Structure 1
Amino acid sequence: MTEPTAKAPRRYTRPAAYRDQPGGPLSLDRSLYESIASAERSSREQFTIPVRSGAAWEVPAGSIVRISSVDGPQVGDLNLWNLHDPRERFWAARTRQLQRSSMTTYDRFWSTLPFLRPMATVVEDTLADHPDAEVIHDLLGTRCDPYVNQMLSGEAFDYHCHSNLVRAVREYGLTEYDVHDVLNVFQLAGLNEDRQYFMDTCPAGPGDRFEFFAEIDLLCALSTCPGGDLSLHMWGPEAASETEQLAHCHPLHVEIFDVEPAALDQWEPPSRAAYRGADGLHGLS
């Protein structure tokens, strides 16, 4: 009996579904953001987030946020909210559709309905030319959390990214219900040949950075993932011990910059979505 021949994975070449007209909202003026990224800037605030921890901070519109690797590879889980109305927050699923399944320079963080506008724009990514760049800064997956962890391992662990983010935003009056799907900064992840989600070793080295420009006033929160560089399995029969995983964890550094005002002369803060229906209905009750 002849063994069936394995089929090579199919690679689709169809155009993106979400496309705009030339000069439309998805057609970014790259020269403007290149000018903003290269303009004179001054440090407003900086801090380091320890391993298996989280922090939240405010960012004025027109500022740049830099997340950088300190002394070794480390994944960070990032949430964004409108500082003045946390009902508007980063919408990972729509961003995947409007941009791509991982983020890099010139991609934008889009917000939830009924706002639907760019909250921030990526202006620098030192891993953009990495051989695996198309699966770095992952949008397919979301934060690790203690609920799934206990389901898979039978153990309670309170320093997952979900937990770290919840603790970080408490002082802003937010709760677990406000924490949402993340951008996995520096994370290499994708779908394997069986279309299952995988994670692999973080490629970021000391000094690698990911920068984004705040289009509106933001509240940001970042967790240093307890899996560290994700080189070890976190669940399943090959799962590493907590002590083994901890040895692969590193801090992340955050710095917020004020940009020279002249560099922002051609920039305008984005307006919320033009559709003005009530509760998603236009002229209907």
Structure 2
Amino acid sequence: MSGLTAVPARRGKAARMRAGQTIKIVNTHGTQVLDTWAFRSDDLHEFMSMEHTRPQIGKIIPAVGDALRSNKRTPMLTWLEDSSPGIHDTLVAACDTHRYRHFGIKDYHDNCTDNLHAAMRELGLTPPEVPCPLNMWMNIPVGADHKIAFLPTVAKRGDHVLLRAEMDLIMAFSACPMDVTPINGPGGDIRDCHFQIS
């Protein structure tokens, strides 16, 4: 896709953003969950925090107009557009080797935690920890009984989100390789996503 950077299926990608720039994040095929992180570029110990964002916005899913906060409660990104139905997740940690072992998978399985490290390594950086990501387009409803469900995304092909950086950032993504639960569709087909910084 012209002008867009790919987050390859099952892999991660990171990029630098300056304050005031926008990033358009595209669910290219309409079925893919994209784990999303942001780190302050001059201090990676300050990062986008779902735990700190939720009480500030008063809900579990951010929407247009909301500020995504850091672990110091500072606005990092402002949500400007969302062409999808607006279903995203702020509750579930990035998948890792331990998660897949709980599913009985003994061999190595691609995972978002390793994808974050690999993506940051391409920029010569090491994340100090793996914060809970903003799971773009992930459908994790909370029922009246307080239980959560893992359902396929309701996004459509080409749906996008537009965010504005409020500080210089490192953005990082993982095209989530989860193929055990149906979050990426009942067939478990993992696809690429794209983004564009301007």
What TM-score comes out, normalization by structure 2 length? 0.89
Match of 1:256 in 2: 197
Q: 2:18 touches 2:167 (CA, 8 Å); kept in 1?
A: yes
Structure 1 residue 171, shift from structure 2 partner: 3.4
Which shifted more, 56-65 or 91-100? Answer: 91-100
Among 57, 71, 82, which residue is 1:125 paired with?
A: 82
Give unmatched runs, 5+ long, in structure 2: none
Q: 2:37 touches 2:48 (CA, 8 Å); kept in 1?
A: yes
Higher helix share: 1
Q: 1:141 touches 1:197 (CA, 8 Å); kept in 2?
A: no
Match of 1:152 in 2: 103
Match of 1:205 in 2: 156
C-alpha distance in 2 between matches for 1:84 and 1:141: 27
String of CA shifts for 1:122-164, please: whole Å, max 9, x gaps: 000012xx3xx4xx11112221111121133242334111111
Task: Between the two structures, name the one with larger relative contact order (CA 8 Å, sep ≥ 6).
Answer: 2
Counterpart check, 1:91 vs 2:49: yes
Q: What is the letter of the counterpart of residue 120 of structure 1? A: L
Match of 1:104 in 2: 63
State the secondary structure of the residue aligned to 1:254. strand
Q: 1:78 touches 1:223 (CA, 8 Å); kept in 2?
A: yes
Q: What is the letter of the counterpart of residue 192 of structure 2? A: P
What TM-score comes out, normalization by structure 1 length? 0.63
Match of 2:138 in 1: 187
Counterpart check, 1:69 vs 2:27: yes
Structure 1 residue 254, shift from structure 2 partner: 0.6
C-alpha distance in 1 between matches for 2:67 and 2:25: 16
Q: What is the letter of the counterpart of residue 253 of structure 1? A: H
Q: What is the letter of the counterpart of residue 67 of structure 1? A: I
C-alpha distance in 2 between matches for 1:161 and 1:198: 20
Identity over aligned residues, as a percent? 28
Instruction: Tell me: CA distance 1:215–1:86, structure 2 relative to 1, closer, same or farther (3 Å).
Output: same
C-alpha distance in 2 between matches for 1:69 and 1:55: 15
Q: 2:50 touches 2:69 (CA, 8 Å); kept in 1?
A: yes
Q: 1:105 touches 1:122 (CA, 8 Å); kept in 2?
A: yes
- Please tell me whether Structure 1 or Structure 2 has the larger radius of gyration of its CA atoms: 1
Which shifted more, 155-164 or 90-99? Answer: 155-164
String of CA shifts for 1:29-72, please: whole Å, max 9, x gaps: xxxxxxxxxxxxxxxx6311111010000001100001102133
C-alpha distance in 2 between matches for 1:253 and 1:173: 22
C-alpha distance in 2 between matches for 1:163 and 1:192: 31
What is the RMSD computed on CA atoms of the aligned residues?
A: 1.8
C-alpha distance in 2 between matches for 1:71 and 1:101: 25
Among 117, 141, 158, which residue is 1:166 paired with?
A: 117
Give unmatched runs, 5+ long, in structure 1: 1-44, 233-243, 258-285
Structure 1 residue 190, shift from structure 2 partner: 2.3
Instruction: Tell me: CA distance 1:210–1:151, structure 2 relative to 1, closer, same or farther (3 Å).
Output: same
